[in-house]
């Protein structure tokens, strides 16, 4: 169950419902990457569905890689026995049972990257847009699946380059009319840093479609609102903020989608989710703003700053001293 009560079936949940608790011996060719816990189980569930893997009972010796809610992923070893082995072809628990539990494309909640201004980007900007969108697809596989992602208004060159960057994409390329018809939706949220209203956790419950402008060149700031007239739906513009300001909020497409996923899937608050994806560059940008408004840095002020700045206390204190702000904090006191 997600924050606010919206139900989203993730692949990890689908696999857990199918197998219950136990240890799964993964195929030798499977590469789990750096993900752990729920993200790793989610990634493996999608891999198994994509490869058509079913599950047979197994008692081979194994060692665990990671686990989530009692379901373990394991490789050969000597730290306990497996309960299941993932296998291609006929299996006691066939591949179709897992596939049937994972939402098909286009799954909700749905994220849309609009490539309408592809041709207005520089060559570097186009490459950056492909990179951010492919990382977004990969990020979605840790939380939901890339069936929750559509790229609209993509010219043939953009489709070709994206397909080369992410050849196993299970999302879609659509035009707006086709996508909205498939989703059965006539309302979308356009994430725009220049919007008048802030995005809230309630918005993540009320709406199912979230649009990110595929606009990454620095000289195109402010272009997001130009997308609204071309979307044949009721467009609700919202900005993501930290305590009422957009400074410090990441602007990369993949970071914004990850923040929303952390709210929807993990149940984090929007502030916690944004901080979790806030890079040091954006954190330092917000820190400068926060320090300009204080005449001293005491313990209470330090903790207030850390509500919108994901940096170590030591760095915040050092920056305050550089700016000539009196520091009344002794970290040795805890």
Alpha helices in 63-200 (DSSP H): 95-101, 123-143, 156-165, 176-183
Same domain, 87 and 119: no
Please, which pLDDT band fits residue 334 given cuts at 50, 70 and 90?
low
pLDDT tens, position by position, 22-63: 999 999 989 888 889 999 999 999 999 999 999 999 999 999
Q: How far apart are CA 298 and CA 74, in angstroms?
A: 48
Number of domains in the chain: 3
Q: Is 315 left (phi over 0), alpha (psi -120 to 50) or beta?
A: alpha
> How many CB atoms are located within 10 Å of the residue 137 CB?
25
Q: Is the pLDDT of residue 1 over 60?
A: no
Average pLDDT for the chain: 95
Q: Which residues constitute the domain of residue 122?
A: 110-277
Q: How far apart are CA 214 and CA 136, in angstroms?
A: 12
Largest CA distance in the chain: 70
Phi first, then psi: what are they for 30, rounded to 5°?
-80, 130
Q: Percent of the chain, pLDDT > 90?
A: 93
Q: Is the pLDDT of residue 146 over 80?
A: yes
Q: Percent of the chain, pLDDT > 70?
A: 97
Same domain, 10 and 57: yes
Same domain, 157 and 271: yes
Same domain, 29 and 151: no
Same domain, 198 and 273: yes
Please, which pLDDT band fits residue 7 given cuts at 50, 70 and 90?
low
Same domain, 69 and 117: no
Selected residue with higher pLDDT from 5 and 222: 222
Picking from 37, 68, 101, the residue at the C-terminal end of a domain is 101
- With helix as H, strand as E and coil as C, how does 115-135 read? CCCHHHCCHHHHHHHHHHHHH
Q: How far apart are CA 224 and CA 164, in angstroms?
A: 27
Residue that has been written with the tokens 């309630």 in this structure: 202
Same domain, 290 and 189: no
CATH number at residue 190: 3.40.1280.30
| Cβ–Cβ < 8 Å for 103, 66 | no
List the one residue out of 107, 88, 65, 84 whose CA is nearest residue 25: 84
Q: How far apart are CA 10 and CA 164, in angstroms?
A: 26
Same domain, 121 and 254: yes
Picking from 260, 277, 294, the residue at the C-terminal end of a domain is 277
Q: For 151, how many CA atoms within 13 A lie in the half-sphere containing its CB?
A: 28
- What tokens does 75 get? 């490789």
- What tokens does 242 get? 């930290």
Burial 50-88 (b: 16+ CB within 10 A, else e): eeebbbeebeeebeebbbbeebbbbeeeeeeebbbbbbe
For residue 2, the model assigns a pLDDT of 38
Torsion of CA 145, 146, 152, 156, to 10 degrees: -170
The per-residue DSSP string of 27-52 comes to: -TT---TT--HHHHHHHHHHHHHHHT
Q: Is the pLDDT of residue 182 over 90?
A: yes
Same domain, 214 and 284: no
Same domain, 166 and 241: yes
Same domain, 156 and 18: no
Same domain, 11 and 146: no
How does strand 71-81 pair with strand 22-25? parallel
Q: Is the pLDDT of residue 333 over 80?
A: no
Picking from 277, 298, 323, the residue at the C-terminal end of a domain is 277
């Amino acid at each position: 169950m997600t924050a606010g009560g919206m139900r989203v079936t993730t692949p990890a949940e689908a696999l857990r419902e199918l197998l219950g608790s136990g240890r799964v011996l993964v195929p030798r060719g499977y590469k789990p990457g750096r993900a752990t816990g729920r993200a790793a189980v989610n990634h493996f569930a999608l891999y198994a569905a994509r490869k058509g893997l079913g599950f047979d009972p197994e008692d081979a010796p194994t060692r665990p890689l990671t686990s989530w809610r009692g379901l373990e992923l394991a490789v050969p070893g000597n730290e306990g026995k497996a309960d299941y082995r993932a296998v291609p072809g006929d299996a006691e628990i066939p591949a179709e049972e897992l596939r049937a539990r994972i939402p098909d494309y286009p799954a909700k909640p749905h994220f849309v990257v609009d490539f309408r201004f592809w041709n207005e980007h520089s060559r570097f900007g186009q490459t950056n847009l492909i990179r951010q969108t492919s990382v977004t697809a990969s990020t979605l596989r840790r939380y939901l699946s890339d069936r929750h992602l559509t790229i609209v208004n993509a010219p043939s060159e953009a489709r070709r380059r994206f397909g080369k960057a992410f050849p196993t994409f299970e999302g879609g390329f659509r035009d707006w009319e086709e996508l909205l018809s498939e989703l059965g939706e006539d309302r979308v949220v356009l994430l725009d840093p220049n919007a008048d209203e802030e995005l809230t956790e309630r918005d993540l419950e009320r709406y199912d479609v979230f649009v990110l402008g595929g606009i990454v060149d620095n000289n195109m700031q402010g272009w997001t609102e130009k997308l609204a007239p071309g979307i044949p739906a009721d467009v609700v513009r919202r900005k993501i903020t930290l305590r009422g300001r957009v400074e410090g909020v990441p602007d990369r497409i993949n970071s914004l989608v990850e923040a929303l996923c952390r709210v929807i899937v993990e149940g984090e608050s929007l502030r916690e989710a944004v901080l979790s994806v806030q890079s040091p560059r954006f954190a330092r940008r917000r820190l400068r703003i926060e320090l300009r408004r204080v005449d001293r840095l005491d313990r209470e002020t330090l903790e207030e700053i850390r509500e919108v700045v994901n940096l170590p206390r030591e760095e915040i204190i050092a920056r305050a001293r550089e700016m000539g702000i009196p520091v009344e904090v002794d970290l040795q006191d805890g």
